[in-house]
C-alpha cells in the first residue's frame, strides 16, 4: 500500500507560497508505515486537476489532497473529483447546516457563494471541519481487478487540515491498515570528511533493499545518515536499527557528532555543560556566525562567556597588546598570532576554552592556489592551531569554516 499527496493552488505552482502540508501529511503517513511515492502540485485549472486525481488514484492506494475547497470560483476540487469519478454533485444537508451555523456564530450572513461548500460528489462521505466552512471529502474509488483507492480531500489551511487529519482521516487510515505498522526515521550526524569518502567507510550500508535503509545526504559540509526501519511500534522499529547504528559508530568513530536535529554547536555546548566548562569565541572570517549559532542553543547561557567579532588587526588591542604587536609583526594570518589571541581571549573572558577563527583570505580565481583559514583553540591543555583550505561555493565558505572550527573544538574538548 502506498500513498500520494496532491496540493492544489496557483499560489503554490507559481512559487508564491511554499507547500508545507505535503511534508506534514507525508510524515504522518510514514508514522503509520505508509510510504508516500509522489507529491503532485497542480494549479487551479480543471482539466489538470481531473488528470492529477485520476493518475494518483491509479498509482497510489491512499490519496490525500489539500486545497481547492473554498467558496470562490477558483476552488475546483469538488468539481474535479466528481468529474474524475464520473458522478454528479449533490447537496449534503448536514454540511449545509454546519456552514449556516458557523456564519450565525460569527454573526455574519452566509454569502450565497458558500452554498457550494455543501456540495459533495455522489457516494462520498463528509469529513467534518469543526472550525472552518470547508468540509472535506472522503471517496472510495473502485478500480478494475484490484482493491479500491481511497481519496481524502482536505482544506489547505494547515490548522484545519491537521485537525481533520487527526479526527477523521488518521483513524480511517489505521482501519484500512489492519495490523498497525510504523515507519521510524533516525538521523546520525557526521562531520569531517566528504560524502563519498564517508560512504566508502560504511561498506554495504547505503545499499538499496537493505533493512533498515540507510540514506546519505550532505548540507553545508554536515553529512546526515538517515536510518529508516518499519515495525509494529516506534520502539520496535528503533530497536531493529540499533545494530546499524552500532556499525555506523564502529566505522566512523569521532566523525559522528550527534543525532536528529543536533548541529556541531549543540554537540559542543553539551560537552562543555557536562564538564561544567565555559567558552569564549573570537571571529574574523566567520563574522559572528559561531556566536550567533551558540546564542541560538537552548543551554548556551551556561557555557558561553562571550566573544568578539573583529574586522582587522585594529580591534585586537581590546583583547591584548601583545597579540596586537604580533599581528603587526607577523600578520593576522600567522598561526602564532592567532595562538596568542586564543590565549588572551581565554584569559580576558575567564573561560576554560577560547576558539579563534582567523580572517578569510581574499577570494581567488578557480585556477589559482586556494588560501587557508587559521583556526585556534586554547584550553586547559594548551593551544592548538590548524590551517584549513579555503575553497568551494561562496555560500558554503562561512558555515564550513565555522563548522571546522567547532569540530576542532569538539575534538579538543574530547581530548582527541
Find the binding residues for a second copy in span 95-154 (CB under 8 A). 105-108, 111, 113-114, 130-132
Which residue in 1, 55, 236, 247 binds a second copy (CB under 8 A)? 55
- Residue 415 CB, shortest distance to a second copy, in Å, is 26
Which residue in 100, 125, 181, 226 binds a second copy (CB under 8 A)? 226
Q: Segment 318-337, which members bind a second copy (CB under 8 A)?
A: 318-319
Name the grid cell of 337: 598570532
Which residue in 83, 92, 291, 352 binds a second copy (CB under 8 A)? 291
Contacts of 66 (CB under 8 A, 6+ apart): 5, 6, 7, 8, 21, 22, 25, 153, 154, 155, 156, 161
Name the grid cell of 228: 529508516
At what angle are helices 335-348 and 321-330 packed, to 10 degrees? Answer: 170
Stretch near a second copy under the rule CB under 8 A, chosen from 35-43, 262-270, 323-331, 407-415: 35-43
Residue 314 exposed, middle or buried by CB count within 10 Å (0-12, 13-18, 19+): exposed
Question: 29 or 376: whose CB is closer to a second copy?
Answer: 29
Contacts of 51 (CB under 8 A, 6+ apart): none
Name the grid cell of 270: 553539551
Count CB atoms within 10 A of the CB of residue 47. 10
Q: Segment 159-198, which members bind a second copy (CB under 8 A)?
A: 159-160, 163, 183, 185, 194-197
Establish if 24 lies at the interface with a second copy (CB under 8 A): yes
Name the grid cell of 14: 507559481
Stretch near a second copy under the rule CB under 8 A, chosen from 4-12, 144-152, 241-249, 404-412: 4-12
- Residue 354 CB, shortest distance to a second copy, in Å, is 12
Question: 28 or 150: whose CB is closer to a second copy?
Answer: 28
- Residue 342 CB, shortest distance to a second copy, in Å, is 15
Which residue in 295, 331, 380, 381 binds a second copy (CB under 8 A)? 295
Stretch near a second copy under the rule CB under 8 A, chosen from 269-277, 293-301, 323-331, 407-415: 293-301
- Residue 295 CB, shortest distance to a second copy, in Å, is 3
Stretch near a second copy under the rule CB under 8 A, chosen from 6-14, 135-143, 331-339, 373-381: 6-14
> Is the C-alpha dihedral spanning 6, 7, 13, 15 positive or negative?
negative
Establish if 382 lies at the interface with a second copy (CB under 8 A): no
* Enclosing H/E stretch for 46: helix 46-59
- Residue 389 CB, shortest distance to a second copy, in Å, is 6
Question: 15 or 415: whose CB is closer to a second copy?
Answer: 15
Question: 71 or 336: whose CB is closer to a second copy?
Answer: 71
Residue 159 exposed, middle or buried by CB count within 10 Å (0-12, 13-18, 19+): exposed
Name the residue among 303, 268, 286 with its Cα closest to residue 357. Answer: 286
Residues β-bridged to residue 151: 63, 139
Which residue in 53, 165, 191, 304 binds a second copy (CB under 8 A)? 304
- Residue 125 CB, shortest distance to a second copy, in Å, is 21
At what angle are helices 394-413 and 289-296 packed, to 10 degrees? Answer: 60
Which residue in 90, 381, 389, 414 binds a second copy (CB under 8 A)? 389
Which residue in 247, 273, 391, 411 binds a second copy (CB under 8 A)? 391
Establish if 211 lies at the interface with a second copy (CB under 8 A): no
Name the grid cell of 170: 488518521
Establish if 70 lies at the interface with a second copy (CB under 8 A): yes
Question: 120 or 390: whose CB is closer to a second copy?
Answer: 390
Report the C-alpha gap between 6 and 153 in whole angstroms.
9
Establish if 259 lies at the interface with a second copy (CB under 8 A): no
Report the C-alpha gap between 230 and 213 in whole angstroms.
10
**Whole-number CA gyration radius for the chain:** 29
- Residue 224 CB, shortest distance to a second copy, in Å, is 9
Residues β-bridged to residue 357: 283, 375
> Is the C-alpha dihedral spanning 346, 349, 352, 353 positive or negative?
negative
Amino acid at each position: 500500500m502506498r500513498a500520494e499527496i496532491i496540493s492544489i493552488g496557483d499560489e503554490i505552482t507559481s512559487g508564491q507560497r511554499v507547500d508545507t502540508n505535503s511534508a506534514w501529511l507525508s510524515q504522518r503517513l510514514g508514522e503509520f508505515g505508509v510510504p508516500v511515492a509522489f507529491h503532485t502540485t497542480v494549479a487551479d485549472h480543471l482539466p489538470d486537476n481531473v488528470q492529477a486525481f485520476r493518475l494518483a488514484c491509479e498509482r497510489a492506494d491512499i490519496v490525500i489532497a489539500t486545497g481547492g475547497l473554498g467558496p470562490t470560483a477558483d476552488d475546483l476540487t469538488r468539481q474535479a473529483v466528481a468529474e474524475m469519478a464520473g458522478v454528479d454533485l449533490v447537496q449534503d444537508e448536514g454540511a449545509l447546516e454546519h456552514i449556516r451555523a458557523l456564519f450565525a456564530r460569527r454573526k455574519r450572513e452566509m454569502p450565497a457563494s458558500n452554498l457550494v461548500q455543501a456540495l459533495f460528489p455522489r457516494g462520498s462521505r463528509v469529513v467534518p471541519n469543526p472550525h472552518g466552512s470547508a468540509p472535506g471529502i472522503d471517496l472510495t474509488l473502485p478500480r478494475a481487478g484490484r482493491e479500491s483507492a481511497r481519496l481524502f480531500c482536505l482544506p489547505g489551511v494547515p490548522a484545519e487540515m491537521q485537525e481533520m487529519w487527526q479526527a477523521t482521516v488518521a483513524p480511517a487510515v489505521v482501519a484500512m491498515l489492519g495490523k498497525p505498522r510504523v515507519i521510524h526515521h533516525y538521523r546520525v550526524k557526521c562531520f569531517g570528511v566528504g560524502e563519498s569518502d564517508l560512504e566508502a567507510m560504511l561498506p554495504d550500508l547505503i545499499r538499496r533493499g537493505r533493512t533498515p535503509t540507510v540514506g546519505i545526504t550532505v548540507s553545508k559540509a554536515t553529512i546526515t545518515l538517515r536510518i529508516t526501519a518499519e515495525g509494529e511500534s516506534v520502539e520496535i522499529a528503533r530497536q531493529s536499527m540499533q545494530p546499524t547504528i552500532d556499525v555506523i559508530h564502529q566505522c566512523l568513530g569521532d566523525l559522528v557528532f550527534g543525532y536528529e536535529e543536533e548541529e556541531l554547536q549543540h554537540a559542543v555546548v553539551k560537552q562543555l555543560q557536562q564538564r561544567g566548562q565555559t567558552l569564549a569565541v573570537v571571529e574574523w572570517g566567520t563574522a559572528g556566525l559561531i556566536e550567533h549559532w551558540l546564542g541560538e542553543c537552548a543551554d548556551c547561557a551556561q557555557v558561553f562567556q562571550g566573544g568578539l567579532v573583529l574586522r582587522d588587526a585594529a580591534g585586537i588591542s581590546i583583547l591584548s597588546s601583545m597579540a596586537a604587536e604580533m599581528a603587526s609583526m607577523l600578520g593576522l594570518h600567522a598561526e602564532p598570532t592567532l595562538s596568542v589571541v586564543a590565549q588572551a581571549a581565554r584569559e580576558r573572558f575567564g573561560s576554560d576554552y577560547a576558539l579563534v577563527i582567523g580572517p578569510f583570505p581574499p577570494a581567488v580565481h578557480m585556477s589559482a592556489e586556494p588560501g587557508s583559514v587559521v583556526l585556534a583553540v586554547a584550553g586547559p591543555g594548551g593551544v592548538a592551531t590548524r590551517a584549513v583550505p579555503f575553497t568551494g561555493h561562496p555560500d558554503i565558505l562561512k558555515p564550513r569554516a565555522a563548522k571546522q572550527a567547532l569540530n576542532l573544538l569538539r575534538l579538543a574538548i574530547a581530548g582527541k
